[in-house]
Structure 1
């Protein structure tokens, strides 16, 4: 194989032509408003979503139609299957009836050779000793032959019948004896039940007597308890009266001046203290009155201080109000100056704009100015 030398200029020209072709295609995509989309096309997305929902609903309806068709086909198939089974059943039944009625075993040509009752239907070799078919050379009579078999079997059957009747009679007698024994047992059970009821009634009567005796005994105990409680109450009242009398007349519970002060400590005796004297009570009342007057005087001083503070608060509020009015007046003056400055600035801006529009920016752009834009996609 020979190596082909590729000229670098040809490769470069191919690359340049390929890039120019890609640039032209890029321009077509960028500068075509039908193809280019700036940002997100909400209407297109909503239309796509709507179409998607419609396709989904159509798909759901299609699936539902297929399901309904499948169910209907299944029902039709089931009906056809049942009909086929019914026809097959009728055919088999007709075939069985035909075989049963028209193709019986006895209707066959070879039935006389395969008849299971052929020997029963055939005539015996000999009916009796006077059978006219019997001949000298027929070998119809032999020594030791039981010619009274039928009579013997008949007598045996009669004997069996008699035995069966006797067994039935014995069975009936046993049944009668069982019934009689059951009746005797039932009578014995009834007598036992009657005796049990009598014993229960006697037990109930004895229990009622015991209950009555217990009630009577409880009543006597209650009467005795009430009597004891009454005596205890009387004794308790007497004890209380003696206690009250002792408290009223005992020196231990009566206050005396000589017993009030302890001579050793010159203090009140707590064991014999029975309350304050009128003088002590009057001293306490006088001390409370002095406390009330002192509190009244303190309250008047507090009211006077509160009135002074109220006056000072009123003066401070008036001063704050005047200061606020002065600040408001200064703020209005500052706002007025600012408005004047803004009006002057607006007039200057208007003059500057007129200068720009009428003097400075007087040249109009031509088509050559706009043609320099959108010449490349980069």
Structure 2
């Protein structure tokens, strides 16, 4: 089979057709432009000289195109000839190479090493004495090998049975360990909860004792302040009773001067009476204030009320848990009773028992 040319010939024809199509498209565009120009009112009037120049220009352009087409055709023909010459040269070279290869093969086939005699027929071949060694067809060690295989199989079976027996109680042992672990966790949780409860109670007791101490300290300070105020008031009253200025024990005028209308003030008995009334009023006010509000007593009352509420809530929660546990136990007992009744009914009906009063209650009996 001849090889295809390196440069296809039909490509020149395609290019020629493309050039022709481009020329047709250009001609159509020029005609459309010319018709548009002729139909335009502004450009319709064209002189004879202009038309002559246009005709001459078109003729010269057509001549140039014809000349270009001729040159292109000549060049395409030359290219086609060159391509054809190359193709023929390649074909001749390949044919010569194939002919040389064929001659070489023919020469090699005539060599002595390639001229072998034909093999003899199978009927002419006869076995010798040595061939009898391969006719035994039996393995002498087969019984011993089978015994070893049986022993290995027996050993493997015993090992598997022992392994299965060893792992038979693994699940139960794991369940026992898990149950023991759960009991241990429950005990630890109970111990931790009890310790937390004791610590909470101790903290509450310590807090109550601290509050009581604070109340006692505050009361003691108030009592000390009241005693100190009373002592100061008594000293102040004593000083006022003995004050010469308030009692006008002497005249604060110049020596030798006496004023008959000079006011001597209250007498000592009147001053003592006024101070006594003031003391009674202060005492009454203090009693009223103490009876109106006692911060320590109110705090203790509030603490006792909170403790009572907490205890009531805990008691209510414990009762709720106990009631839920009793409900669960009752439900489980009902389920157990229903299960026993169901099993008894199954055992009773397993041979096709007929219930009294049912559809088949009279089966096998006389209507009498």
**TM-score normalised by the chain length of structure 2:** 0.27
Q: Which has the higher contact order (CA 8 A, sep 6+)?
A: 1
